[in-house]
A and B are shown apart, each in its own frame.
Chain A
Amino acid sequence: MPDHPYDLIVGLETHVQLLTDSKLFCGCSTAFGAPPNTQTCPVCIGLPGSLPVMNREAFRLGLVAAIALNCEIPQFTKWDRKQYYYPDLPKGYQISQYDLPMSQKGWLEISDPKGRFAAKKVGIIRAHLEEDAGKSLHDEAAGKADSRIDLNRTGTPLLEIVSAPDIRSTEETRAYLTELKLLLTYLNVSDCNMQEGSLRVDANVNIHIHTPQGKIATPIVEIKNLNSFRFIERALAYEAKRQFDAWQETGRKMGDPGTFKQTRGWDDAEGVTFSQREKEESSDYRYFPDPDLCPVRTPTAEVQKVRGGLAELPAAIRHRLEKSHGITPYDSDVIVAQGRPLVDYYEEVARIGGDGKKAANWVTQELLRVLNERNWSLAQFPLTAAALGELVKLVVAGEIEITRAKEVFNDMVAHKRSAGESMAALGIAKVDTSELEAICREIVAANPKIVADVKAGKQQAVGALVGQAKKKNPNANPNDVRRICLEIIGGM
């Protein structure tokens, strides 16, 4: 149970940049990081007389995402102008979609392998396409200082995904964003790189306070430009408490006269949200249909074609891995969270190794540990899935015991060797059963006190013999040593 008398209510507006080569309405490149104002043309800088032409690939990517988000795709959609003045918006309006978005009424399922919340469907109110604005670089505090504008980003295609206010906690918020990000990267719709701004989140948040008179909703606040998951969690936690405190102080609730939807920013250094403006001031964007662009028709056949060609989605992959490889939801979650290449890698390891669970352990523990330690991507990891699969296969067959197998793994990574080569280099070979029995007989004979202890019922005393056996032959398998020694003692 929560330690506070209210529910957190969150709806997220997520903007993702689409992975197109060119902008939404012109042929300019969308590559990140070019020198300022080098990826522009008359269209995207809004020169007089220029006209937009829709990028079909952007529309297709939007369709792919919307269909994967279980949205309805209307047969008819159009473009609208959202009008406001800002220096990084050279036309004085943004081409967006207003009352007839390209998709609506979908959902995204979220769950938590740690079980902190029950699996649920978060509603998607709409997902629509729009063009990005440019970047303003200025010192806002100075006021009079020169501002600089980079229009490289202007016109980059964005998909705005608006969730219903179905999210109830910071854990659910993180799960929603993680799942959304995963879905879009699996579909190659967006790289969702938050550092480069290709995934940006605004959160609409308020709280429902439990009182003896019933639930009371506080006025909704929109927190803008939350550019990391950590910021989002901290901002939501802060904002919920701030709204609760404000309510206790003023008693103001949603719908009271004079309460507007407020826009706040997040100051991570101070750990506070701060008021940016009352939304009422500039709420009239004077939307109207863009006369320069034709409405877009999406025939049912096209929707079906996209649906048919959709890549396997993360949720489906998790279910499949759990079913066909017998792994836990936790492991499937870890594997899928790393992206499609690791899924494929894991499945190959499991196939060759012959044991899905053991393969999952090796991948989620050893392999991911190395990637994290060295800050590698999977592509930089030196072992092929087949090589790791061979090692797993040896472990599964009992050819090598687990601690030695980890040594082998480290050697394989360090020298890009096969399991066999590493084992040879480390002098690891399976100990012949008769040799192992000879060793065991020898140490049992040399340790009458331990024999007496075991005979007296202290079975764990045999552990001391394992160490001695390993000294005689490091390849001695501890389980085998334990079993053989107990057999010998039992026969005495």
Chain B
Amino acid sequence: MSLTDRPATDLLRDLSARKISSVELVKAYAERIRRFDGQIKAFLHLDIDAALAKAREIDARRAAGQPMGKLGGLPVAIKDVLCTQGIRTTCASKILENFVPPYDATVVRKLKEADAVIIGKTNMDEFAMGGSTENSAYFKTTNPWDTSRVPGGSSGGAAACLAAGMAPLSIGTDTGGSIRQPAAFCGVTGLKPTYGRVSRYGLVAFASSLDQIGPLGHTAEDCALLLETIAGHDPRDSTSADLPVPQYTASLSQPLQGLKLGLVREHFGPGLDSEIEAAVREAVKDYQSLGATVKELSMPHSKYGIATYYIIAPSEASSNLARYDGVHYGYRTDEKAMLDELAAKQKQLESAQDAKKLAQLDTPLIRLYRKTRAEGFGPEVKRRIMLGTYTLSAGYYDAYYLKALKVRRLIRQDYDKAFEEVDFVVGPTTPSPAFKLGEKTDDPLAMYLEDLYTVTLNLAGLGGISVPCGFTKSGLPIGLQLQCRPFDEERLLQAAAMYQRATDWHTKRPSL
């Protein structure tokens, strides 16, 4: 197995034993990036020289016997929605094309303190809105298993760079499935932590009550390593939980006794690809052969998940994205052209003596806002800003936003009930495997339905993981999703690791 195909924890053992150096690792991944990123386009930003310099420094410290952080020189790719001090952070949006944060996100700071080597910033759907990474304002990322297909999204670059062997660890974010769905599409493991497990400070907000940062890796163990590095209470994030962080890697090899799994009836209804259903049912059998019992249960409100999500998330997004107005930072429309245009329009209306339209003509400030936002945001972001502005408007708030909050509570109650009977809810991560580039770009609703099995978890604020559980006949990866009780990531990872010890789907790599 080549260096770049190996799980991160495996590489870390060799780093610690000084069998390999961090510089060697960075060079190996840089070589993969050089060869394949032209095709995959996973990275929005790369600075191999800076990564090498950091790797050299870490190697020197290790050689000198100095204390070493938990990640000890492992390269990590970061989704371009986390602020990195001094490194452009765009959220794959034109409106932040020139934004260089003066500070690090808490997760980035923790990675640096753990001696990670930041190898680059990965592509995504603009402001994490989308399920295919086709909404990036810069370029589309492809799926390493079939480059005519999407890698999923919004953390498409994060999953694709792992699958393509261009990084051993990757940080993603999940608002409605944005870690789990690309992990499933790209045949890697991705974990969405319980809301509050990881600080959101420095994560550019899409939907604040749903966003959560999480790890992607080849194995549950990789995710455990990365999660224990980034998790924990942060005084800068009032919504982060003040709970101790278990050492996930330490307990990972303990098999779970008497495991009870719940199969949600509603997750096996119309719309589910038959190959995916077969693979998931096979995975459930694997668990049974490992001693698990399986119970079928119902989550009656899950059918409202998409509708609820597409009210709450755009509402929050419309507010969170109000700050991108061209005044303080980021993209601003060409002011001179804007003022000239406004003056011409005014002249035209004056000569036409159209007093009514003259009175309605934008002030320069309003026109600056309008043009900046019209030019700076892509269509999907605009669509969601409009949706959210509508649902929060006076007269509609109660019917949409308030109602959605009530349904959200009912969805959480469905989970609470389920977890009275089972330890984990298992099912498919996605209804279908990776689709063709462009296949759904003209049909937003079809794209939204990609989140069918993932959004309810965000609405309930719980944790979940997607692990590879097979392939379609055409060779596309399939993901198995496990969902857990609040802050039960330790056992979630144990359950995933147990499955990965018994299967080898997670060891498969695409040939590029």
Contacts and interface: CB of A to CB of B under 8 A. Distances in A.
B421 to A, nearest CB: 30
B102 A85 contact: no
A46 B393 CA distance: 23
Nearest to A286: B392
B473 interface: no
Nearest to B81: A49
B162 interface: no
Interface stretch (A159-167, A248-256, A289-297, A393-401): A289-297
Contact of B393 (A144, A149, A286): A286
B118 interface: no
A90 B204 contact: no
Contacts of A292: 205, 208, 238-239
A81 interface: yes
A90 B315 CA distance: 19
B462 interface: no
Contacts of A52: 238
Nearest to B401: A288
Contact of A294 (B101, B238, B339): B238
B329 A51 contact: no
B202 A49 contact: yes
Contacts of B238: 51-54, 292-294
Q: Range of interface residues on chain B?
A: 35 or more
B308 to A, nearest CB: 15
Nearest to B96: A48
A45 B328 contact: yes
Given A42-B103, A286-B393, A48 B89 contact: yes
B365 A87 contact: yes
Nearest to B105: A49
A286 B389 contact: yes
A83 B205 CA distance: 16
Interface in A274-325: 283-284, 286-288, 291-294
B239 A286 contact: no
Contacts of B316: 291
Given A51-B200, A53-B238, A42 B102 contact: yes
Contacts of B205: 48-49, 292
Given A81-B319, A286-B392, A291 B237 contact: no
B203 interface: yes
Contacts of B91: 48
Contact of A48 (B99, B239, B394): B99
Interface in B326-369: 327-329, 339, 363-365, 369
Nearest to A87: B327
A288 B325 contact: no
B323 A143 contact: no
Contacts of B393: 284, 286
B82 interface: yes
B236 interface: yes
Contacts of A50: 103, 201-202
A46 B200 CA distance: 15
A53 B239 CA distance: 9
B322 interface: yes
Contacts, number: 100
A81 B318 CA distance: 12
Contact of A47 (B101, B203, B363): B101
Main secondary structure of the interface of A (DSSP, over half): loop
Interface in B232-255: 235-239
Nearest to B390: A286
Given A42-B102, A49-B83, A294 B239 contact: yes
Interface string A75-106: 00000010101010011110000000000000
A125 B222 CA distance: 56
Main secondary structure of the interface of B (DSSP, over half): loop
A52 B201 CA distance: 9
Interface residues of A, number: 31
A292 B207 CA distance: 10
Nearest to B364: A144
Contacts of A42: 101-103
Contacts of B103: 42, 47, 50
B209 interface: yes
A407 B237 CA distance: 66
A291 B102 contact: no
B397 interface: yes
A46 B323 contact: yes
A90 B322 CA distance: 9
Interface in B91-111: 91, 96, 99, 101-103, 105
A289 to B, nearest CB: 9
A81 B103 CA distance: 25
Given A90-B328, A91-B322, A93-B322, A49 B101 contact: yes
Contact of B327 (A83, A90, A291): A90
A46 to B, nearest CB: 5
A73 B101 CA distance: 40
Contacts of A51: 200-201, 236-239
B331 to A, nearest CB: 13
A338 to B, nearest CB: 42
Counting chain B CB atoms within 10 Å of each CB, the highest count among A48, A81, A288, A294 belongs to A48
Contacts of B369: 85
B329 A291 contact: no
A288 B392 contact: yes
Given A42-B102, A42-B103, A292-B238, A49 B204 contact: yes
A181 B325 CA distance: 38
A92 B96 CA distance: 16
Contacts of A288: 315, 319, 392, 397, 401
28 contacts: A42-B102, A42-B103, A46-B323, A47-B83, A48-B91, A48-B101, A49-B82, A49-B89, A49-B105, A49-B202, A51-B200, A51-B201, A51-B236, A51-B239, A52-B238, A53-B236, A53-B237, A85-B369, A91-B323, A92-B322, A286-B319, A286-B389, A286-B393, A288-B319, A288-B392, A291-B208, A291-B239, A293-B239
